[in-house]
Every structure is written in C-alpha cells, then in structure tokens.
Chains A and B, each alone.
Chain A
Amino acid sequence: MSNETTLIFQHSRPGRSATAQAPKPVSEDQLSAIPASLRRKNKPGLPEVGELEVVRHYTNLSTKNFAIDKQFYPLGSCTMKYNPRGANRAAMLPGFLNRHPLAPASHSQGYLACMYELQNFLKEVTGMKGVSLAPMAGAQGEFAGVAMIRAYHEARGDDARTEILIPEAAHGTNPATAVMCGYKVREVPVGKNGDVDLEALKEACGPQTAGLMMTNPSTCGVFERQIEAISKAVHDAGGLLYYDGANLNAILGKVRPGDMGFDVIHMNLHKTFATPHGGGGPGAGPVGVSQRLLDYLPTPMAGRDEESGGSSGEYHWIDTDTLPTSIGHLSAFMGNAGVLLRAYFYAMVLGRQGMIRVGEYSTLAANYLLKRLEAIGCQAAYPDRRASHEFILTFAKLAKDQHVTALDIAKRLLDYNQHAPTIYFPLLVPECFLIEPTETETKEAMDDFVDAMEQILNEAKTDPETVTEAPFTQPVRRLDEVKAAKELDLVWSE
C-alpha cells in the first residue's frame, strides 16, 4: 500500500506538462473572434505535472482502496458481486465508445440492437410489460417510477391522491423520491418479525393514497410473506405498487415482481447485473411497468421496425414525438449507455439458467453465512426467519455489556482485510450489521470472514481497546468527522 498523501496540486511546477497529451498552442490571432471581455484573466490553477507523475500518483492512490477485486465486500443492500472483466472490454469497444448519442439510427443499429434485447431481457426477468433503460441510477429509477404513478393518476383526473406509503424500514431514498415527485410521505410500521404491519397498512390506505413503495425481500433481509394481501389493500384503495429493486438479486429467476402484483419497478444494474460500482457510480436504474403505466415510460427507448408493422428488422428510437404521454427525458441523452452494455454482456453470458442461479446461490450463501455466524455467538435480528440474499445481525447486547459497538467491529474487520458490512441500516434494528455475501464468493471466503468475526468477538471480551480503537493497519486511523463538518475544508488552497 502506498503512503502517497501529497495532493496532485502539490506536485505542480510552473511550466511542467505532459507534453504528448496536448495539441500545440494556437496563436492569439486564431482566438481573435472571442471578445477580450469574455476571456479569462488568469489561467486556472490546475496541476502542472508530467505524465509519469500523474500515472504514479493515481496508481498509488488506488492502492489505498478496498475493492471487490481485492477483498470480500459483504456490504448489505449493495450486492457487491464480481464485475466481469469481459463486460468492461465489450463495452469499451471503439464502435460503442465513439458513437455520438445523437448519431442517426442509420449509424446506431448495433447499439440499438443490444438495447432492444436488454429491454426484452429485463421485461421477462421482472414479469413486466414494458421497460425503459433511461434512468441513470437507482434513485433516478425511483424518481421515474413515482413520476409515472403521478402521471397515471393525473391522466385519470384523480388529483386527490397526495400520499405515498413507505414502510418505516425503507431506505432513505424512498421518502426523498416521493417528495421530489410532489407527494407527502406516510410511514407504515414494521412488525417484530420483519413483515409490514398489515393492519396499520390497511388503515393508512385511502382515497389519498397514490401508491406504496417497498422492497421485497425487505430491507430487513426477509421475504415479505403478506405481499399479496398488501398488494390487494393498496390496489383496492386505488393506489399503485412500486417495487424498489434494491434486493432483486435475492429472487432473480425465482419470483417476478410483476407476478407479485407490482405496477412499477426499478432495477439497479450495478447490483443485480454485475456492473461496477466505480467508487460510487455510475450505475443504471431501468424501470419496468405493468400494462397501465406503459404510456408514461421515460424516453428514449429502443424500438424495432417489426413491432410497428414493418419488416426491415431495423431498430429505431422511441421518443416523445411518438409517445407524448411519456414523463420525458431524465438526462440530456439516453442514460448511462456504457453501464447498459455491461449489463447486456452479463445477461447474455448468464442466459436463462444463469439468471435462475443468481437468486438460488445468493440465497444459499446468505443462509450459510448466517448459520455460521450464529454458531460463533452472533445474534440474528430475525432468528426465526430464512435469510434472503442478505441478513441482519444485532450487537446491541455487546454494546451494552462491553461497550463495543457495531461501528467498532466494522472498523476492526478492516484490520482483518475484510470490508465491513453495511452498518446502522435499517435504522430500526439497534447496533446492526446488514450482510450480503453474494453468489460469486467461495465458501472459503465466507469462512475467512467468520474466522475474523470470531477473533474480533474474543478481542471484544479480552482486549476491547483493540476493537474500539481499530483500525490499526489502514492508511489512516479513525477520522475526526466532527472537525470535517465544522471546519469545512472541501477545496485545497496553498
């Protein structure tokens, strides 16, 4: 691991440059058409460095990251599965990389063919009637989904629907999305077994209900068993059902959201379809809809001549000129194409059997890891339930008895070269870990994690400071986040 702590700006020396990379300067004459009053007075303070320095600096910095390529990364709700290198190579083919987003369909048949097939693939795997690939991330997929629900009610003149119902265990994006779509949020309680409180839900439903947003399996890591009753209650009240695809990996190939009664779903391709997380993005959040929301899908989408009565087999764009009821464009162009191509590659490699195996083996891994961790003394939050593709542990007792918290254990795991699971989510389980091993990890990788946890639990009893002061082996120790928030230093200055 590198000790690089200097900033690229600190390597800068006036007049130094990566000479091979910039064209020769143009003469002032050639810039004479730009009025002097609009010209920059001082050149921007960008680094002036050589090519090797840049390569070395960013290579060294990279070594300070944990990553799936280096470590077990069981971050619950994030599906950190292997990101096939083949998908990266295929998406970086020059024909795809150099295609301008506004190139005419005549020069885009190869790309459109991939997108058209991916739409159909996702339709089948989710059991929905139509799919748009336009949303650029899960959160934007959520936005598109709720915006379609709103467009649907508005088109029917049903303007009394002002509320979106959300289980209290939901991810914070759900309520934030509902508000972005102009709705009020009503939270629905979750029972002790991780299922939604059905009676409370029924009471909350009414003529003001626009819809319900939920994940299944839920953020509690268990399958919502009353899903059909929930679906009925919301539909009977005139609301629509939104499926947050955060946990789709658990049921891929096993149960389809469309068959559970959902009207709209977003998928996180960077989770379920193995596209990379890239240190925080880009992702892609395609949306699928039932029959009644087809008219509102965001554009553009890929279409094929045969569908509209032709016979050439050519592909084209479907845009707002042919689908005027669409909620419209959510980006300047058509979403994160490069991510979609990676997902297409993954889907084509997996095929039908491979899709079914995703749900099966991610569930097998999670249930195995849960049993092993319970056997070394970890407390499951829902001990009587099957794990889905992920599960929750609670360290509330340890925190009370030994003053060792979930955060401490997470930090100590880093010293054992294990990425920590998601911590303190969902909020309703105290001192919790949300653990998701995924189907691509070996049994040995999971066993190593269990060994590390066992040692840490021992340390918590015999030598708690090793845990509460961890990590010791990383580039930095625990950081002063209060200082970071109080004395804002967001931009470097000499």
Chain B
Amino acid sequence: MSEIPAELRYRDSHEWVRVEDDVAVVGITDHAQDSMGDLVFVEMPEVGVVFAAGDEAGVVESVKAASDIYAPVSGEVVAINEALEDEPELVNNEPYAGGWLFKIKMADSGELKEMLTADQYQEQIDSE
C-alpha cells in the first residue's frame, strides 16, 4: 500500500499539490515513484516559466522509464528543488517531503477544486 496523505490534492497523472498560501508545492506520489523504480534524473522547469494547468513541466527518469510531469495548476514557477540534481533518490525516499519538485505561484486557486482528493486518487489507482 502506498502512502496518500489526506491533506493533499492529486492529479490523475500522479502529481500531488500542497498549498502554502498562494503557492502550490508540486511533487509525484508515493505510488508513482514506486512504479517508476529508482529515479536517476529529474528534468526541471526553469524558474519564471508560466504554465497553464496540464502543461508539460518536467520529466522524471528511471533506468528503464521516463515519465512526463504536468503542471497541476496554472501559474508561474517560483522555485525548483535544486537538491534533486544530485539526489534524485529523494523523490523515492520522501516523495511528500524532501522529494518535492517545484513550486507554482497559483494564478487561480479555484483550479484546486478540480483536482482529486486523497480518497478519489486512491480509488483511481485501485482501478488501474
């Protein structure tokens, strides 16, 4: 069983969002990191780039797979997790803490309502 913190919001493409004021912290879920295997590289967006929800924002790579990361909400990238450059394994080890990917200053916090709750996300991965 993978961990799905109740306080976060999710996308069906396996990103999570934690809201800190008007900033959305984005990562990939425990389930996603587990099915990828050991990550060897994370391709990050550049700070300052503006995304619409659903845009491709980065890539996570393991030895045998690569998976796109989509921006879960619209807005400007205000920070990236630079620690991942040397330690991509942080995403495997602590997907909801030290393994966060980037932060987006939200253009429309209303978009959060359209994301999945922990229960809904659990339902989705059960049906996969």
Q: Are any A and B Cβ atoms less than 8 Å apart in their complex?
A: yes
Q: Mark B85-103, 1 if CB is under 8 A from A, else 0.
A: 0001000000000000000
Size category of the binding interface on chain B: under 10
CB distance from B79 to the nearest CB of A (A): 23
Chain A contact residues: helix, strand, loop or mixed = helix
Which chain B residues border A484 with CB–CB below 8 Å? 63
* B44 interface contact, C-beta 8 A: no
Which chain B residues border A485 with CB–CB below 8 Å? 40-41, 61, 63
CB distance from A329 to the nearest CB of B (A): 33
CB distance from B66 to the nearest CB of A (A): 11
Q: A485-B63, A486-B41 are in contact. List 11 more A-B contacts (CB 8 A).
A: A424-B64, A481-B63, A482-B38, A482-B40, A482-B62, A482-B63, A484-B63, A485-B41, A485-B61, A486-B40, A486-B88
CB distance from B36 to the nearest CB of A (A): 12
Instruction: Pull 7 A–B residue pairs with CB atoms less than 8 Å apart, ordered by A.
Output: A481-B63, A482-B38, A482-B40, A482-B62, A482-B63, A484-B63, A485-B41
Within 8 A of B (CB), among A447-494: 481-482, 484-486
CA distance A244 to B64 in the complex (A): 24
Q: Mark A409-438, 1 if CB is under 8 A from B, else 0.
A: 000000000000000100000000000000
CA distance A484 to B38 in the complex (A): 12
Chain B interfacial positions (CB closer than 8 Å to A): 38, 40-41, 61-64, 88
Which chain A residues border B88 with CB–CB below 8 Å? 486
CA distance A481 to B62 in the complex (A): 10
9 tightest A-B contacts by CB? A485-B40, A481-B63, A482-B38, A486-B40, A485-B63, A482-B63, A482-B40, A485-B41, A486-B88
Which chain A residues border B38 with CB–CB below 8 Å? 482
Which chain B residues border A481 with CB–CB below 8 Å? 63
CA distance A99 to B62 in the complex (A): 46
Which chain A residues border B64 with CB–CB below 8 Å? 424
Chain A interfacial positions (CB closer than 8 Å to B): 424, 481-482, 484-486
CA distance A174 to B64 in the complex (A): 19
**Chain A residue at minimum C-beta to C-beta distance from B63:** A481
CB distance from B84 to the nearest CB of A (A): 12
CB distance from B76 to the nearest CB of A (A): 28
CB distance from B24 to the nearest CB of A (A): 28
Which chain A residues border B63 with CB–CB below 8 Å? 481-482, 484-485
CA distance A485 to B60 in the complex (A): 13
Which chain A residues border B41 with CB–CB below 8 Å? 485-486
**Chain B residue at minimum C-beta to C-beta distance from A486:** B40
Which chain A residues border B62 with CB–CB below 8 Å? 482
CB distance from A169 to the nearest CB of B (A): 18
CA distance A486 to B64 in the complex (A): 13
Most buried by A among B40, B61, B88: B40
CB distance from A207 to the nearest CB of B (A): 26
Most buried by B among A424, A481, A484, A486: A486
CA distance A384 to B105 in the complex (A): 56
CB distance from A288 to the nearest CB of B (A): 34
CA distance A424 to B88 in the complex (A): 25
Which chain B residues border A482 with CB–CB below 8 Å? 38, 40, 62-63
CA distance A424 to B65 in the complex (A): 12
Which chain A residues border B40 with CB–CB below 8 Å? 482, 485-486
**Chain B residue at minimum C-beta to C-beta distance from A485:** B40
CB distance from A391 to the nearest CB of B (A): 23
CA distance A481 to B38 in the complex (A): 10
CA distance A482 to B63 in the complex (A): 6
CA distance A481 to B61 in the complex (A): 13
CB distance from A367 to the nearest CB of B (A): 31
CB distance from A85 to the nearest CB of B (A): 37
CA distance A468 to B73 in the complex (A): 43
**Chain A residue at minimum C-beta to C-beta distance from B87:** A486
**Chain A residue at minimum C-beta to C-beta distance from B40:** A485
CA distance A484 to B63 in the complex (A): 9
**Chain B residue at minimum C-beta to C-beta distance from A484:** B63
CB distance from A212 to the nearest CB of B (A): 25
CA distance A482 to B41 in the complex (A): 10
Which chain B residues border A486 with CB–CB below 8 Å? 40-41, 88
CA distance A486 to B62 in the complex (A): 10
CA distance A424 to B63 in the complex (A): 14
CA distance A215 to B62 in the complex (A): 29
CB distance from B38 to the nearest CB of A (A): 5
CA distance A485 to B88 in the complex (A): 11
CB distance from B19 to the nearest CB of A (A): 32
CB distance from A490 to the nearest CB of B (A): 14
Which chain B residues border A424 with CB–CB below 8 Å? 64
CB distance from B1 to the nearest CB of A (A): 17
CA distance A424 to B61 in the complex (A): 18
CB distance from B62 to the nearest CB of A (A): 8
CB distance from A482 to the nearest CB of B (A): 5
